[in-house]
Amino acid sequence: MLELSVPGHFYGFDTGIYLISAIIGFAISYYAYRAYKLTDSDTHKYLFSAFSILSAGLLTMCITSAYSYALWFTTGEMSIFSPLFGIDDIGMWVHFLASFIAYAMLIMMYAPKKYRDKLLILLPIASNNFIYFNVILFFMISYVAFRSIANYLTTRKRNAMLVMVSFVLIALYHLFLMFMPFYRGFYAFAHISLIVGFLSLLYMLIKVE
């Protein structure tokens, strides 16, 4: 349940971050789609698809967490199905599954064409714990971050640097969430990292428009 993991003074903070991140993500999708229509590039196609799905997951998290907080502040309860499973958990799973699909598309963006069809058969590994699924997402986006770092070191271009910063920060979002059991302050660091990562990618796309 959400109240067991989120520090009390951050209640509502994450809802705002999810909303802002979703708006930025949809803006990234919009500019990526415009670039795709102009270039017919697979890179822009995967970027558009990935951030459309990722943003939809974030918007779901925003809605479910807002409902959960409203329930908490009015009744003192967050659970509607059972004491161990609530609407916020549904939102988290939708967010994680959307992230899995989006990151698979980002991996395909960097993967050689001969391997892309094989990546389509990837399926999420079942888990009853958010932490375990988050580890999978961390390694997926870390591959994307690693490839973006390699691309920047090869080209030394400013746009490549902004892409690198974006994916590294999104990877740090998942890394910070992994260490939340040890220090709950990482929850704030994670969400700040996420929104700054999205902003970096949006700035790059606007800049090359």
pTM, two decimals, is 0.83
Does residue 182 or residue 23 have the better pLDDT? 23
48-74, pLDDT tens digit by residue?
999 999 999 999 989 988 888 777 777
Among 10-19, 32-41, 141-150, the range scoring the smallest mean pLDDT is 10-19
With a cut of 70, say whether residue 147 has pLDDT above it: yes
- Pure H helices in 40-129: 42-75, 87-110, 113-119
- d(C-alpha 33, C-alpha 25), whole Å: 12
What is the DSSP-derived secondary structure letter of residue 82? B
Higher pLDDT, 86 or 133: 133
Confidence grade of residue 113 (pLDDT, cut at 50, 70, 90): low
Q: Is the CB of residue 201 less than 8 Å from the CB of residue 35?
A: no
pLDDT at 128 (0 to 100): 46
CA distance from start to end of the chain: 42
Higher pLDDT, 89 or 157: 157
Single-letter code of the amino acid located at 175: L
- Kindly state the DSSP code that residue 8 receives in the 8-state scheme: G
